[in-house]
Amino acid sequence: MLCAERGARLRVAPIDDRGEVILPELERLLSERTRLVAVAHISNSLGTLVPVREIAGLAHACGAVVVVDGAQGVPHLPVDVQALGCDFYAFSGHKVYGPSGIGALWGRADLLAGMPPWQGGGGMVVRVTHEKTTYLPPPHRFEAGTPFIEGAVALAAALDYMSALGRPAIAAWEEELLALATERLSEIPGLEILGTSPQKAAVISFTVDGVHPHDVGTILDRQGIAVRAGHHCAQPVMDRFGVPATTRASFGLYNAPEEVEALAAGLRRVREIFWS
């Protein structure tokens, strides 16, 4: 959308067979003409943990600004924006067990101070005349009108809940579930896991030979097992691996090993139905 509006050129860093960004290729794409580098903290389609700190270093070396989509990062691991070295970091509320329709954007103070408002409304101005409007400093200039107050309160409660449980404890639990699920699913003939980086979140994206991912999802659904099937808003990733879609199992702090075993059993049932 930005390219269409501004005439910029979009260049995409490739990923390898494990689903990891090929850093030398990314570095080769960067130049003094690069203005913005946008990355996901964790891939929603593969679960790969992207090396944001290293990418930010490469981007800043050529004067670019780094924007991170943290929608998958915040639910799964502790996030320190200073340690990551990024300039902007965004995440959505419903991924962290809060309400939908709300999220948060962190940005470097100096960059935010130099940016104009993106919409107008009450609560964002210092002075309005017919000739000129002056705006409040961030964050107020970016929060025009009456905010989604109840959503903000609920999002804060969700984040407090996660903090009380302990983000390192959540990450450790999910790592155990991921390890167990990877082991169990790897035992199933004809099942291929896409995204095999050793650095990944508790997400397993897979295909089953001869079975469309939507059919896999439907059969699992009838067994009370909730997965997602499709291209996961990541069609270029599907193209990279030569598949139309995958089935994706995502684990959270509320999941248990018994559910991993149920998923494996459900997938064996998929094989029985289609391979019998």
Interatomic CA distance for residues 127 and 29, integer angstroms: 44
Mean pLDDT of 111-121: 93
Lowest pLDDT segment from 34-38, 118-122, 187-191: 118-122
Note the pTM of the prediction, 2 decimals: 0.93
3-state secondary structure of 106: strand
Q: What is the CATH number of domain 2-165?
A: 3.40.640.10
| Cα-Cα-Cα-Cα dihedral sign, residues 236, 242, 243, 249 | negative
pLDDT tens figures, 232-263: 999 999 999 999 999 999 999 999 999 999 99
Residue type, 162: M
The DSSP H or E segment spanning 170 is helix 167-186
Question: What is the spatial distance between Cα 212 and Cα 220, in angstroms, rounded to a whole number?
Answer: 13
At residue 161, the pLDDT reads: 97
pLDDT for 276: 67
Q: Say how far residue 160 (Cα) sits from the centre of its chain.
A: 20
**In the chain, count of helices (H) and strands (E)?**
11, 10
For residue 15, count CB atoms less than 10 angstroms from its CB and return exposed for 0-12, middle for 13-18, buried for 19 or more.
buried
- For the chain, where do the domains classified as CATH 3.40.640.10 start and end? 2-165
pLDDT at 208 over 80: yes
Distance of CA 62 to the CA centre of its chain: 25
**Within the chain, which residue ranges are assigned CATH 3.90.1150.10?**
167-275
Mean pLDDT of the chain: 96
Q: What is the pLDDT of residues 16-58, one digit of tens each?
A: 999 999 999 999 999 999 999 999 999 999 999 999 999 999 9
Catalytic residue list: 233
For domain 167-275, say whether CATH 3.40.190.10 is its number. Answer: no
Structure token digits, residue 41: 């903290």
